[in-house]
């Protein structure tokens, strides 16, 4: 009942992800309809309900475009869990301010990168020039496309790809 379910707007635009229990509740109250059932059925004493993978809302929901929130998890995901100084892919990465906050650097997408503890310690509170270090890639804000936002669920839910790719 806790498996993720892709929720589509009335125009088939991906909106968010809810759990199976919420999706079944939306379907039973006729607020959503089943688009894809790739998970079998839930059996009760008297009924059988499909376990949805994708549902579509019956009425159009207007909402602003989702922006990716700035967090450590999202910075690591944007940088593909790779140190942006040495290129190592280790399990315990830290976040580094390219221009240190003590020197006027901001806490923003353009100033944060993933760094291994060794590189972060070596750079310290200095700028790239002062530490004589280079970045592998220039930091930027990740795209707010549906594919990027929902991509972490696509390994387990390959049937979502056609509904997400076009947005």
pLDDT in tens, 64-89: 777 889 999 999 999 999 999 999 99
Q: For 67-87, b where at least 16 C-beta lie within 10 A, e where not — what string?
A: ebeeeeebbbbbbeebbbbee
User: Percentage of residues in the chain with pLDDT exceeding 70?
Assistant: 99
Closest CA to 21 of 13, 11, 29: 29
Topology of domain 72-131, per CATH? DNA Binding (I), subunit A (1.10.30)
Q: Which two tokens stand for residue 119?
A: 């590189």
Q: Which two tokens stand for residue 44?
A: 């009760």
The residue ranges of every structural domain in the chain are: 4-65+149-164, 72-131
What is the overall mean pLDDT for the chain? 89
Inter-residue contact 85 to 135 (CB < 8 Å): yes
pLDDT of residue 40: 78
Inter-residue contact 26 to 15 (CB < 8 Å): no
């Amino acid at each position: 009942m806790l498996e993720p379910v892709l929720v589509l707007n009335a125009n088939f635009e991906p909106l968010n992800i809810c759990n199976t229990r919420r999706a079944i509740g939306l379907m039973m109250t006729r607020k959503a309809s089943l688009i894809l059932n790739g998970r079998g059925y839930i059996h009760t004493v008297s009924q059988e309900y499909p376990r949805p993978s994708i549902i579509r809302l019956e009425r159009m929901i207007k909402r602003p475009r989702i922006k990716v929130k700035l967090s450590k998890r999202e910075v690591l995901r944007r940088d593909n869990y790779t140190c942006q100084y040495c290129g190592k892919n280790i399990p315990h990465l830290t976040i580094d301010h390219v221009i240190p906050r003590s020197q006027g650097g901001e806490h923003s997408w353009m100033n944060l990168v993933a760094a291994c503890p060794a590189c972060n310690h070596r750079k310290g509170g200095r700028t790239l020039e002062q530490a004589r270090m280079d970045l592998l890639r220039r930091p930027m804000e990740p795209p707010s496309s549906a594919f990027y936002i929902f991509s972490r669920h696509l390994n387990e839910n390959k049937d979502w790809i056609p509904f997400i790719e076009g947005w």
